[in-house]
């Protein structure tokens, strides 16, 4: 059935949006992309390049106009194909931390003991054991985002989708959460597609960085991050490969970023 | 803020700034003088005794002939009437009758309103099919339906209960829909992401997320419910608090009327309190902040 051996195969995917004033914005054009099993891939590009749209199509939230995505699913089934960590705050204010983490398990009728064991494990992994019975309103923004990460991992999906999950956090919290994500991912290895607009975050986390061009989004280049794991987030900038990768990425998106800023006035 | 409390002469120390000969004054702020706490206490007491002052004024005015005692009997006389009503059972039975009507109609209307409202909010198809006629019939004053209901089901308890249910239903349904529609899209995305079915989203996301809206609408509907109840009892019932109020003017015996009015207010107040505590019981996450 599958056309190649990749975990996720994006095939000639195009997507446009109709805006309120009737104009049409082409978000993605003819995207072809293969993502391997267990790979950590980051989508990066100027604002509005369609990276979130691509992620949402992979997550099943939106449909493409042309082309499609194939996910190489395990045949035993039962688990979710994908689970998403959203940029926006997405924990349920009416559930406490533990209930938020095990929400997906409850939806799939996982028996209570098993559900508790899994959610306790991931609540502990993100350092929220002391807050397992707290409501989101009692937590900081960083803690709430930890809950979202724990919920996605507890869902045990084949592919983890992360849409700028740390974008709204302050830098210090972001560094901590990046480190926790790397540790969690090393322990529970799976395919990750991660959207960010931070060059630093892309280098820090990924195996490969997919650089999308500005509207319409197309794959401009794919950069391998040849920095060995495990990585220490706070020290990665000192790695001899870091500066070179950073410059290379910036050169790839610089024109788009400048273009989107001058174009904003017109739009 | 009073300047004299900020600039206390005792706290003022002469200071010298490098070279300048003009003496400076240290202004002290943030010192607790106990004044705020005193006024908070006084306000609390005033809140408690204020209604008694009003009642005392009424009593005096009525007894001294400044108020026409035929229409505004002194409160003491009303209290006697209330005692009589309790002793001969007429007040209690009227209250029970009224509250039973309201509770039945309210429960049916609220339950229907929540279910239909959640469904309307969650399903664009259902919304397209049902919302137009809901909005068209919403402005109809529900009391105007009473004669029709009597024609349909005859006099008695049934038309009163149905009318109350209709009045409550509209308020709850429309506000519940608004509650579901105000849920941030990402919250519903989480449901989809976790594989929730329509019914699971209904129960585990739309219902809890809309609870604040639902409880607000339940409070409004309660107030409207009492209005509709009393109005219907004026004309459509021979029993109940509304019937007491309506019949007492015909006999020029106004004391029972005041008793019944007070009873309606008391029931309204008590049920609103009950609803509020039910709300905080069902929404424990809201009081934790």
Q: How confident is the model at residue B192 (pLDDT cuts 50, 70, 90)?
A: very high
Chain A interface mutation, best of B194, B199, B279, highest count of A Cβ atoms under 10 Å: B194
Q: Which residues of B touch A90 (CB under 8 A)?
A: 186-187, 189-190
Q: Given pLDDT bands bounded at 50, 70 and 90, which one contains residue A239?
A: very high
Residue A267 has pLDDT above 50, yes or no: no
Q: Quote the CA–CA distance of B66 and A246 in Å, as a whole number.
A: 89
Q: Please give the average per-residue pLDDT across A158-171, as a whole number.
A: 92
Average pLDDT, chain B: 90
Q: Which of A60, A88, A135 is the closest to B186 by Cβ?
A: A88
Q: What ipTM score was computed for the predicted complex, to two decimals?
A: 0.90
Residues of B in contact with A135 (CB under 8 A): 284-285, 288
Best A90, A147, A158, A165 member to test B by mutation, with max B CBs in 10 Å, is A90
What is the pLDDT averaged over residues A93-116? 95
Q: For residue range B119-151, what is the model confidence (pLDDT) as tens digits?
A: 999 999 999 999 999 999 999 999 999 999 999
Report residue B95 as tokens: 């209250």
Of the candidates B225, B224, B215, the residue with the CA atom closest to the CA atom of residue B274: B215
> B193: nearest CA in chain A?
A83
**Contact with chain A for residue B187, Cβ under 8 A:** yes
> Could you tell me what percent of chain A has a pLDDT over 90?
70
- Asked if residue A256 lies in contact with residue A214, where contact means CB atoms within 8 angstroms, the answer is yes
Mean pLDDT calculated for residue range B56-84: 92
Residue B4: pLDDT band (50, 70, 90) is very low
Q: Do A89 and B289 touch (CB under 8 A)?
A: no
| Distances from the Cα of A216 to the Cα of A17, A41, A47, A57, A69, angstroms | 11, 20, 11, 16, 18
User: Looking at chain B, which residue has its C-alpha nearest residue A88?
Assistant: B186
- Which residues in chain A touch residue B196, judged by CB atoms under 8 angstroms apart? 107
Q: What is the pTM of this model?
A: 0.84
Backbone angles phi, psi at B83, to 5 degrees: -60, -45
């Amino acid at each position: 059935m599958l056309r190649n051996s990749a975990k996720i195969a994006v095939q000639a995917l195009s997507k446009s949006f109709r805006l309120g004033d009737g104009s049409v914005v082409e978000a993605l054009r003819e995207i072809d992309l293969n993502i391997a099993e267990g790979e950590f891939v980051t989508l990066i590009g100027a604002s509005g390049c369609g990276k979130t749209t691509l992620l949402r199509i992979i997550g099943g939230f939106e449909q493409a106009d042309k082309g499609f995505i194939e996910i190489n699913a395990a045949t035993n089934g039962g688990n979710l194909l994908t689970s998403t960590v959203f940029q926006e705050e997405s924990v349920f204010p009416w559930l406490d931390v533990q209930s938020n983490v095990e929400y997906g398990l409850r939806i799939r009728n996982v028996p209570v003991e098993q559900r508790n064991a899994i959610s306790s494990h991931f609540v502990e992994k993100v350092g929220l054991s002391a807050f397992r019975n707290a409501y989101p309103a009692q937590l900081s923004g960083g803690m709430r985002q930890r809950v979202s990460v724990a919920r996605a991992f507890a869902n045990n999906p084949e592919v983890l989708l992360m849409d700028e999950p740390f974008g709204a956090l302050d830098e210090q919290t972001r560094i901590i959460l990046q480190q926790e994500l790397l540790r969690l991912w090393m322990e529970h290895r799976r395919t990750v597609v991660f959207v960010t607009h931070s060059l630093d975050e892309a280098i820090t986390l990924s195996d490969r960085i997919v650089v999308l061009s500005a509207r319409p989004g197309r794959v401009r280049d794919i950069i391998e991050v040849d920095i060995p794991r495990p990585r220490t987030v706070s020290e990665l900038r000192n790695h001899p490969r870091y500066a070179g990768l950073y410059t290379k990425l910036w050169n790839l998106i610089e024109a788009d970023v400048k273009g989107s800023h001058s174009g904003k006035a017109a739009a | 803020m009073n300047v004299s409390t900020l600039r206390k002469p005792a706290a003022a120390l002469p200071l010298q700034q490098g070279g300048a000969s003009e003496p400076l004054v240290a202004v002290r702020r943030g010192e607790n003088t106990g004044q705020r706490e005193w006024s908070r206490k006084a306000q609390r007491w005033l809140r408690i005794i204020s209604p008694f002052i009003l009642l005392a004024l009424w009593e005096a005015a009525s007894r001294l002939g400044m108020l026409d005692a035929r229409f505004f009997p002194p409160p003491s006389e009303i209290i006697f009437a209330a005692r009589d009503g309790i002793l001969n059972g007429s007040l209690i039975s009227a209250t029970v009758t009224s509250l039973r009507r309201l509770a039945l109609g309210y429960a049916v209307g609220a339950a229907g309103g929540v279910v239909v409202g959640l469904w309307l909010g969650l399903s664009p198809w259902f919304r397209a099919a049902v919302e137009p006629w809901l909005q068209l019939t919403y402005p109809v004053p529900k009391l105007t339906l009473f004669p029709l209901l009597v024609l349909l089901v005859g006099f008695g308890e049934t038309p009163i209960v149905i009318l109350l249910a209709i009045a409550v239903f509209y308020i709850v349904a429309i506000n519940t829909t608004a509650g579901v529609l105000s849920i941030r899209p990402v919250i519903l995305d989480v449901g989809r992401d976790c594989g929730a079915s329509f019914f699971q989203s209904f129960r585990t996301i739309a219902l809890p997320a809309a609870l604040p809206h639902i409880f607000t609408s339940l409070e409004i509907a309660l107030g409207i419910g009492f209005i509709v109840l009393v109005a219907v009892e004026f004309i459509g019932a021979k029993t109940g608090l509304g019937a007491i109020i309506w019949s007492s003017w015909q006999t020029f015996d106004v004391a029972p009327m005041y008793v019944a009015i007070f009873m309606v207010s008391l029931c309204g107040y008590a049920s609103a309190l009950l609803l509020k505590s039910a709300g905080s019981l069902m929404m424990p996450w809201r009081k934790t902040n």
